[in-house]
């Protein structure tokens, strides 16, 4: 069984390839993905839809700056080529992501990608 840090290394590879199915394989059916700038996304089907929509809307890349593991948790500090920085906390249970919480600046992201600012 993969350790949390190994799961997140695979997640980063799939994210950077914009491979929604490879990402989806890393989540529990009942997973929650809560990017704190947005409402929580609950369940694997909804998470798959979220990544499909996000990859269609913007060119996203996660460059790993730090990756830590503590028990069931992996903590990823990342940046993107445009200078946005953030971090994600992933609870990994039985080799699958059960909870993901991400922190990043939504306004900076929208402006960098020329997306509408609400």
Indicate whether 28 pLDDT > 80: yes
Indicate whether 69 pLDDT > 80: yes
Indicate whether 107 pLDDT > 80: no
Q: Say how far apart CA 95 and CA 2 lie, in whole Å.
A: 5
Least confident of 8-12, 66-70, 74-78, 111-115: 111-115
What does the pLDDT read at residue 111? 84
What does the pLDDT read at residue 116? 85
Residues 6+ apart with CB under 8 A from 98: 27, 28, 30, 31, 32, 91, 92
């Amino acid at each position: 069984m993969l350790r949390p840090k190994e799961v997140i290394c695979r997640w980063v590879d799939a994210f950077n390839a914009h491979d929604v199915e490879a990402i989806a394989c890393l989540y529990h059916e009942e997973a929650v993905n809560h990017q704190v700038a947005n409402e929580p996304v609950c369940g694997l089907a909804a998470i798959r839809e979220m990544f499909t929509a996000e990859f269609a809307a913007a060119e996203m890349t996660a460059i790993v700056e730090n990756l830590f593991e503590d028990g069931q948790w992996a903590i990823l500090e990342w940046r993107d080529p445009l200078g946005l920085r953030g971090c994600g906390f992933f609870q990994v249970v039985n080799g699958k992501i059960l909870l993901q919480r991400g922190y990043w600046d939504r306004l900076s992201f929208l402006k960098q990608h020329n997306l509408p600012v609400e």
